Amino acid sequence: MQDDDDARFVDEAGHRWPPLPPLRTGALGRCPRCGKGHIFRGFLTIRDRCEVCGLDYSYADPADGPAVFVQLFACIPGVVFTLMLQIIASPPWWVHLLVSAPVLVISTVLPLRPIKGWLVASQFYFRAREGRLVKEE
């Protein structure tokens, strides 16, 4: 009999998939079970299932997690850059439009997909699910 922790790495046909690190598979937008299929259908839209191994992505619910991580960590350097540019150089508004706006957009939009992929892969790897009450017997 197989261990419950290993059940997530075995598909319906009984094929055993090796455990893959969520940071590698998720950041690249790859399936957390096989590492070959894709998680995303568009930029941030999650597919229904993996096209290679058939893993059902209905468990995946990163909710606002990617946006929170981006706001807390990724966009701080962009905001600090913009504030320091204003404090040190006091440039006209059009310099901020040409320099600061792209920096802020790049530092907030580009990290969303890898972070969302990492969260989806982590949910699979660590079996994260909605909270459930467990009855003691």
Q: Per residue in 89-125, pLDDT tens?
A: 999 999 999 999 999 889 889 999 999 999 999 999 9
| pLDDT classification of 1: cutoffs 50, 70, 90 | very low
Q: What are the boundaries of each domain within the chain?
A: 4-125
Per-residue pLDDT, 137 = 60
Q: What is the DSSP letter of 4?
A: G
Across the range 41-60, mean pLDDT stands at 93
In contact, 124 and 11? CB cutoff 8 Å: no
In contact, 33 and 118? CB cutoff 8 Å: no
Q: Which residue has the tokens 């913009």?
A: 82
Which range of 3-7, 10-14, 132-136 scores highest in mean pLDDT? It is: 10-14
Per-residue pLDDT, 125 = 92
